[in-house]
Amino acid sequence: MSVATGGVRVANGILGTLASTLRQAANSIGNLAPGVPAAPSAGVAQALIGRMLGDLVDESGLLSDDALEAGDKAGLVRAAYVRADECVSDSFASNG
């Protein structure tokens, strides 16, 4: 079954795949954090490069959190659509 809202049609399986892919991406990004190297020897720019790496790590953490949240929401939407489809099917079956 597919769902159409606001002119967009999405198959329930695609929503499940999207949720799974987002969660996997979040975990992959999150797994990178422990492997972040120390600031390289960059002469006068070393402090700046160190701050930039720190910012990159912080932002990557936020990206990971956001991807995980998006995956969870896509999974919830899929579950809601599946339940709605089942209710409609049950309604037709009981009225048919």
**pLDDT tens for residues 1-59?**
555 556 667 788 899 999 999 999 999 988 876 666 777 888 999 888 888 888 888 88
In our burial notation (b when 16+ CB lie closer than 10 A, e otherwise), range 26-36 reads beebbeeeeee
Question: Which of 38, 34, 23, 29 is closest to 76 using CA atoms?
Answer: 23
Query: Which residue range is the domain that position 74 belongs to?
Result: 2-95
pTM: predicted TM-score of the whole model, two decimal places: 0.72
Question: Do the strands 2-5 and 8-11 form a parallel or antiparallel pair, or are they unpaired?
Answer: antiparallel
Asked if pLDDT for residue 77 goes beyond 60, the answer is: yes
Q: For the chain, what is the domain count?
A: 1
How far is residue 73's CA from residue 16's CA, in Å, rounded to a whole number? Answer: 11
